[in-house]
Structure 1
Amino acid sequence: MWALRRASVPLRNRGFKVGTVRASCVKLAPIACEEDEAGISECSPIICNRYLSMNTAQYYSGYASLKFIVSKHEFSSQADARTKVEDDLEDGFSELGAPPGENNDESVSELDLSDDNEDVGGPQNELELSDAEIEPTEKNSSQRRAQSGLARVIIEASGQSGVSIQSALEKWVEEGKELSRTEVSLAIGNLRKRRLFWKALQLSEWLEGQDGFEFVEKDYASRLDLIAKLHGLEKAENYIESIPESFRGEVIYRTLLANCVVQTNVRKAEQVFNKMKDLEFPLTAFACNQLLILYQRIDKKKIADVLLLMEQENIKPSPFTYNILITAKGQSHDIAGMDQIVETMKAEGIEPDLHIKGTLAKHYAFAGHKNKAIDILKEMEGEKLTENLWVCRYLLPLYAELGKPDEVERIWKVCESNPRFDVCLSAIEAWGRLKKIEEAEKVFEMMVNKWKKISSRHYAVLLNVYANNKMLNEGKDLVRKMADSGCRIGPLTWDALVKLYVRSGEVEKADSVLQKAVNQNYTKPLFSTYMTILNQYAQRGDIHNSEKIFYRMRQAGYASRISHYQALIQAYINAKQPAYGFRERMKADGVFPNKIVASQLVQIDAFRKTAVSDLLD
């Protein structure tokens, strides 16, 4: 673990400063951040009596110190510093969804419950916690592909006028059909897989009133997760109070913790983590991995603190832990550090799985280490690709990232005769990256002909190809086809449409489209959608519209972050206008400036003294 923790800190940042250290069993709030021109990245932590006690001076890119004391299992932070690369990569994990009505569930045809559609993969900015962020569990493949008759009845009922889900469920019982725990679990799993969270919640609420069905902790945790996704963290916390005390165990709180991480709510996540410690729940790799995911996005220097706790509590890193650390190093373009983590993992007897290999190949490609990336892709492919067709979903976009159209074509030809749904989506993405639009369109048409009815999130893959290539008319035509086919136009479609207009130079139209969509659907847009418009207004120096988008993001439920302020301040800089009270605004939001924002604040300070201003005064 020590080697792993050392690998998590870049060599250039391993400066040490010995501070006052004392054993402490009480929680202490963080001391307010101070701006400083000096920079020391790590202090020497000392462990006493199973409590981690630190007086740490941590610096973000050489300026803002964060001093805090952490006791066993506890974390406290007010910092939200990150790089632009991290902002771009975290957008896909910022959306939980607003309270929807029944019409907000995507239309699902009978084919959507078929085996062919079971492994559907979506774009990178999916609306929920991605598979890469969920602690993997071993499941029987036949169970994963099993389909629920109860889920089918619920979906069919929601598509019929005058038929409620409750009446459909009551009819199911009257007909003497099975309402076992296995069938219920399968039904909720099928509904979740198709993002029909509202229907899953209705089923859960109906079940609690049935005499023949006894709720256990996992049922309450499932309900909690659905409430957090649909109604937010506050409603989820209130629901915990209604759960019988005997069922308020570790599973309940780790479910809440995971949803806090999905929302990138640092303060709430750390509060829940501390609450789990107060309740004396065992500290697990799952809980630590959630914090690692969080700090991977907002403050990579705190990853070492989590690893120190794991070392202190003898918690063995899981393969998922290593994948998070590899991703963090890759995002920072620290390839040497990434390789060191892989070596540490192998030394612990854990061989990289397919997902980790894909992560490595992706970051090698982004960092320009093409030969390393290709070696891993060949290893993933194996000797006979026909025996590993499911690997193609990883290979296609990665070869495209490497600029290898011949390899993309070779891989696609192997799959083309009978492709999986997720492989088709990867092929569309790959051809789009290579700017081979006709090939991407051919794959899409084949997919539509094979599966007949597909959902809006699958249209969004091709729509993003058009957006990335500034093909406005083609994008508009595709959206019309989506509407004609009965697809719900939701947040993924809005995101692609906004990018389409912005990259075509029509930011006002993008703004208008988004506002109309929100007013008509009452559904929460993606974080990245707002940021696309905000960044464009900021580049123009349009202060009024930048402030407007900033306000709308808060109305939509997105807590203010350093990236919001960085974009907003840039609007004032580009407009060559001073601004007042920005430090106070940020402090009120619990956001503290990183090095980039600190330099921006100096530029917009109306009372800044310079050599010229002194002469003129």
Structure 2
Amino acid sequence: MLALRRASNPIRGQLYHRGDFRAFYAKSGIPNTCSDDVVGIHMPIQVIFGRCISSERLYFKTSVHQNFSLPRRGLSSQADSTSIQEETDLDDEFSDLGTPIPVDSTEEGSPGEKSEMKSISELEPSDNDDFEENSPETSSPNKLELSDTETDTTGEDTLKKDNLFKFFKVVLAATSRSIRIALDKWVKEGNPLDRNMISYTLAQLRKRSMMVKALQVTEWLEANNHIELVERDYSSHLDLIAKVHNLQSAEKYLDRIPESCRGEIVYRTFLANCVAFGNLMKAEEVYNKMRDLDFPLSDFVCDQLLLLYKKRVDKKKIADLLLLMENENLKPTAFTYRILIDIKGQSNDIAGMEQVVEAMEAEGLEPDTQTLTMVCKYYILGGLKEKAEAVLKKMEGGNLKENRSVCTSLLQIYASLGKIDDVERVWEVCQSNPRFEEYAAVIEAYGLLGKIPEAEAIFEKMAETPKLLPSRCYLTLLEVYARDKLFTKGKDLAKRMVTSGCNIDVFTWNVLVKLYVDAGEVEKADSILHKACENSKLRPMFLSYITIMDRYADRGDIHNAEKIFQSLKQAGYEGRNRQYHTLLKAYVNAKTPAYGFRERMIVDKIFPNSAIAAQLARLESFKKKTASTIFD
């Protein structure tokens, strides 16, 4: 036990640069860090992270916030006053970003998802979509238990498939302004409407990242009495409000939910969205509320908090939470272990990572492809290529054709290792009848290997398929262009996405922002993001905003940096040191005092870390210089 307590060593902060591994790291569906050097095997996971818990409740302390790392995600902004003329010169290159797709096409894609999208006429219910993306909403095994995820399209006793698809087509074809009229007309004409139809339609809309339309359906459903609403319906509605609008709007809606339906599922859904926003104080407030309401502590809640503390690099709270799980007799799930493996790996604690894997296997939980991919990645980052190749061999199994589901991961990892022969060998297995996810994986692999013509050739072959290409397929090649700074090709591909009727989601916006910013077109990136946000009503990624804000800060452009800072707050991205650090960088580079900045942080309940404290101290010297000029 004493030896295992060495796991409590301070975080070394040796976070890896993602570089070429960003591609398959994103598929892990898990955030960030913590480190400990540990020896030994088959030990309780709580001991591996060694810590004594002090309380079942979570409390806010000033000192806690001082230990947080800078988050990595951010939002978009509006253009500043200096770029008004430049906005008008954009020639509306991407004026269609985020606008509704024509009636005869399908909106798809999604926040970090990879779903095989088909044309409307080809939609069939299936439990095995070829292209299932990992998104903030879908990547975790502990998915939110929302009513629209419980679709039973095989129940022919209650619903005919033709009615199900007919209803979905009606919803899909309606514009944002006509959706309620279309739904009212459906009911008025005497067509059937039941929970199964609503569930299937909402699930498909979510899969296609059509959150605004999904929200409109739930609003219409709640405003009428066509079916009896249960807690899961309200939970789904709350989740959509958070995703389309912000946490504040979702919290107001939560208070309006009938008390009889305001149960554990609703609070779990709200907690998950607090975690997705990275809002520590609100997440802990919701957790404490759940404890006050005597809801049982679940592995879902613990996993959500682990994700949050991992983002914050809060080693103490991670250890406390694991010990709380032990005290509550909650066994770690496969997803819990995956989070802990990621924590160990990102802090360069390979021995600790291996110990977590061994503890997982000792509990009878076999690491899945996603977990093995993560382990392999950290071996590569740690320079342990032989161990990585051993994991790859295990993933392949005896017959790769019979184990084809691992091909997407293998393509990416072999490309990261620079093994072009293995990439081509794995692709040969898929080439006779490739799935969209395999197309995307091999395009990404050739991009990592610097073989742009080969990646383009595969994309064109994929484009020949009769199915409507999912946005992820375009996005993969767009990411290749952005990484290699091929601005003209990237811009042309983005235009092709729009004209093809492909939905432009927040991940596409993010890559476009990077493409334009790297080309020195910051104002255009700002304008594109602003127009897309206005047209689609979706909330851009935190990283999109920060990418633009960083460049404005580098220029010392306080006006534009402040404008994006306000946009971040309006979008619900609050309580993060990263945006304050970036804003202060603008003042430092402009050599201008930031009067009242400490007070702003106090009001926003932000406590400066060491980097921000250093910036504030530097800005104090500008105040002295300004005062001295008065007497010159």
Say yes or no: TM over 0.5. Answer: yes
Residues 1:72 and 2:87 are matched in the alignment = no
Determine the structure 2 residue equivalent to 1:294: 308
Contact 2:440/2:476 (8 A) holds in 1: yes
> Which amino acid is 1:198 matched to?
V
Amino-acid identity (%): 48
Structure 1 counterpart of 2:242, from 198, 203, 228: 228
> Which amino acid is 2:56 matched to?
K
**Compared with structure 1, are the counterparts of its residues 541 and 10 closer, same or farther at alpha carbon in structure 2 (3 Å cutoff)?**
farther
Residues 1:118 and 2:129 are matched in the alignment = yes
Residues 1:392 and 2:407 are matched in the alignment = yes
Name structure 1 gaps, 5 residues minimum: 15-40, 43-57, 59-68, 93-99
Residues 1:11 and 2:9 are matched in the alignment = yes
Q: Any residues of structure 2 matched to 1:314-393 within 5 Å, and which? A: 314-393=329-408
Determine the structure 2 residue equivalent to 1:440: 455
Determine the structure 1 residue equivalent to 2:140: 132
* Larger mean Cα displacement after TM superposition, 370-379 or 532-541: 532-541
Contact 1:121/1:421 (8 A) holds in 2: no
Determine the structure 2 residue equivalent to 1:107: 107
Residue 484 of structure 1: CA displacement? 1.7
Contact 1:81/1:562 (8 A) holds in 2: no
Structure 1 counterpart of 2:233, from 219, 223, 237: 219
| Distance in 1, Cα, partners of 2:521 & 2:226 | 58
> Which amino acid is 1:110 matched to?
I
Residue 556 of structure 1: CA displacement? 3.2
Contact 2:553/2:582 (8 A) holds in 1: yes
Residue 407 of structure 1: CA displacement? 1.6
**Compared with structure 1, are the counterparts of its residues 121 and 178 closer, same or farther at alpha carbon in structure 2 (3 Å cutoff)?**
same
Residue 257 of structure 1: CA displacement? 0.6
**Compared with structure 1, are the counterparts of its residues 91 and 135 closer, same or farther at alpha carbon in structure 2 (3 Å cutoff)?**
farther
> Which amino acid is 2:100 matched to?
N
Determine the structure 1 residue equivalent to 2:551: 536
Name structure 2 gaps, 5 residues minimum: 13-34, 37-50, 76-96, 109-118, 156-160
Contact 2:341/2:375 (8 A) holds in 1: yes
TM-score by length of 2: 0.76
Give the total of aligned pairs.
544
| Distance in 2, Cα, partners of 1:162 & 1:531 | 30
Determine the structure 2 residue equivalent to 1:264: 278
Structure 2 counterpart of 1:280, from 271, 294, 301: 294
Structure 1 counterpart of 2:257, from 243, 246, 249: 243
Q: What value does the CA root-mean-square deviation take over the aligned residues?
A: 3.8
**Compared with structure 1, are the counterparts of its residues 392 and 266 closer, same or farther at alpha carbon in structure 2 (3 Å cutoff)?**
same
**Compared with structure 1, are the counterparts of its residues 458 and 83 closer, same or farther at alpha carbon in structure 2 (3 Å cutoff)?**
farther
Contact 2:481/2:487 (8 A) holds in 1: yes
**Compared with structure 1, are the counterparts of its residues 71 and 387 closer, same or farther at alpha carbon in structure 2 (3 Å cutoff)?**
same
Residue 280 of structure 1: CA displacement? 0.6
TM-score by length of 1: 0.78
Residues 1:192 and 2:200 are matched in the alignment = no
Determine the structure 1 residue equivalent to 2:433: 418
Structure 2 residue matching 1:103: 3-state secondary structure: coil
> Which amino acid is 1:72 matched to?
E
Residue 340 of structure 1: CA displacement? 2.0
**Compared with structure 1, are the counterparts of its residues 235 and 422 closer, same or farther at alpha carbon in structure 2 (3 Å cutoff)?**
same
Higher RCO (CA-CA < 8 Å; seq separation 6+): 2
Deviation by residue 1:363-383 (Cα, 9 ceiling, x = unmatched): 222333222222212211111
Determine the structure 1 residue equivalent to 2:158: none
Structure 1 residue matching 2:56: 3-state secondary structure: coil
**Compared with structure 1, are the counterparts of its residues 243 and 523 closer, same or farther at alpha carbon in structure 2 (3 Å cutoff)?**
closer
* Larger mean Cα displacement after TM superposition, 179-188 or 305-314: 179-188
| Distance in 2, Cα, partners of 1:512 & 1:505 | 14
Deviation by residue 1:365-404 (Cα, 9 ceiling, x = unmatched): 2333222222212211111111121211211122222222
> Which amino acid is 1:415 matched to?
C
Determine the structure 2 residue equivalent to 1:506: 521
Contact 1:113/1:152 (8 A) holds in 2: no
| Distance in 2, Cα, partners of 1:569 & 1:163 | 42
| Distance in 1, Cα, partners of 2:313 & 2:237 | 31
> Which amino acid is 2:129 matched to?
E
Residue 274 of structure 1: CA displacement? 0.5
| Distance in 2, Cα, partners of 1:3 & 1:115 | 55
Determine the structure 2 residue equivalent to 1:32: none
Residue 609 of structure 1: CA displacement? 10
**Compared with structure 1, are the counterparts of its residues 5 and 446 closer, same or farther at alpha carbon in structure 2 (3 Å cutoff)?**
farther
| Distance in 2, Cα, partners of 1:469 & 1:351 | 38
| Distance in 2, Cα, partners of 1:454 & 1:111 | 14
* Larger mean Cα displacement after TM superposition, 450-459 or 499-508: 450-459
Structure 2 residue matching 1:586: 3-state secondary structure: helix
**Compared with structure 1, are the counterparts of its residues 536 and 225 closer, same or farther at alpha carbon in structure 2 (3 Å cutoff)?**
same
Contact 1:158/1:164 (8 A) holds in 2: no
Contact 1:228/1:236 (8 A) holds in 2: yes
Residue 211 of structure 1: CA displacement? 5.3
> Which amino acid is 1:11 matched to?
N
**Compared with structure 1, are the counterparts of its residues 197 and 609 closer, same or farther at alpha carbon in structure 2 (3 Å cutoff)?**
closer
Residue 342 of structure 1: CA displacement? 1.5
Contact 2:174/2:182 (8 A) holds in 1: no
Determine the structure 2 residue equivalent to 1:153: 167
| Distance in 2, Cα, partners of 1:174 & 1:337 | 62
| Distance in 2, Cα, partners of 1:223 & 1:3 | 49
